[in-house]
Amino acid sequence: MQLFVERIIVILIFLMASVTATAGQATIPPSGTVFMGEQGLDITATGARSGDQLVWYGPGGSTTNTPSAVITVSDPADFYVSPVLFADRTGPWFTETGNILAFFVQEPQIAVRVFDLSAGFEVTKDTVWVPRGDAVGFQIDTNVAVLATRPGSSGAPVTIRIRSPSGVMFSAVTGYQLEDILISSSPYSTGPVWFTGDYERGNYTVWAESTGNDMNDNYPREGKTISPKVTFLLQSVNPLITPEKTTVITTAPTLPPTTIVTMVPLTVMTTLQTPPPTELPTTIPPTPTPGFSASIAVLSLVAVLALALSRR
């Protein structure tokens, strides 16, 4: 029973502290700064009353000109910096009566940086791998840290979102609470808070949100109340290092062309002397008459015989 009561007391103290911190974050001092999307603000200290009008002369705030925008305050203890009414109307706002500076309207801005504090490098688009087991820390850059200067404020609440490879959203890592971190200056560093050795391998996504007075819900703009996302791979092996592969030759290697000499058996060739062609006479002699030829033959024989007898 005593343990139960002690736990109830701790919870009540925590809730009272949260209410006090929230109340301080919502109290706007004279000439203070409010951010687009904040709701439930108490601007009574600025001199604004129910039914009063607030005027905007432009980013420069010259009160000698005709107001460019006018709004009516319905409840100064519950004021909403509407993104619709105050869109493109940042800068000083004045009470119409007396032209007294009430507050400045400003666009919120936030960014988160992720650091591997074991190896000493920042996770960027060029270094998207964090060795599993290293200690990781975060840095918040934002202009909403000015909430810490409001009366009774404990700081500007910022939540770091971490989504695991399986889609789980973490509210804490290694015992470090990620929700409503109260910061009082920018940049704000968490130091090494996430020891990654026991976390699953895979791709993680990190971003931050300005949660003060629900501005992230009322004005969910990347770079404004929600930071750009940082994604990295958590695993033990550097993804840029791949194991060596053994090349297996599945086809025969191509050899340089080989000149093949074919041996032809020697054949003895006999050169035949071909007589030159007989030249035909250009003039063909007449064919002798058969009777005349016989007479000539007889006369020749007689002449031969006579010659032979004379020599005896």
Q: What is the pLDDT of residues 26-80, one digit of tens each?
A: 999 999 999 999 999 999 999 999 999 999 998 876 666 789 999 999 999 999 9
- Under the banding of pLDDT at 50, 70 and 90, the label for residue 237 is confident
Q: How far is CA 32 from CA 3, 43, 67, 75, 77, in A?
A: 44, 9, 20, 18, 15
Residue 293: what are its φ and ψ, rounded to 5°? -60, -40
What average pLDDT does this structure show over 225-235?
A: 97
d(CA 190, CA 22): 22
Domain boundaries, the chain: 2-106, 110-235
- Under the banding of pLDDT at 50, 70 and 90, the label for residue 4 is very low
Residue 189's pLDDT is what? 98
Q: Is the pLDDT of residue 262 over 80?
A: no
What's the predicted TM-score (pTM) here? 0.70
Contact present, 183 and 140 (Cβ < 8 Å)? yes
Contact present, 28 and 44 (Cβ < 8 Å)? no
Q: What is the pLDDT of residues 279-311, one digit of tens each?
A: 444 444 444 444 545 555 555 665 656 666 655
> In the CATH scheme, what is the homologous superfamily, with its name and number, of domain 110-235?
Macroglobulin (MG2) domain (2.60.40.1930)
Residue 212: what are its φ and ψ, rounded to 5°? -60, 125
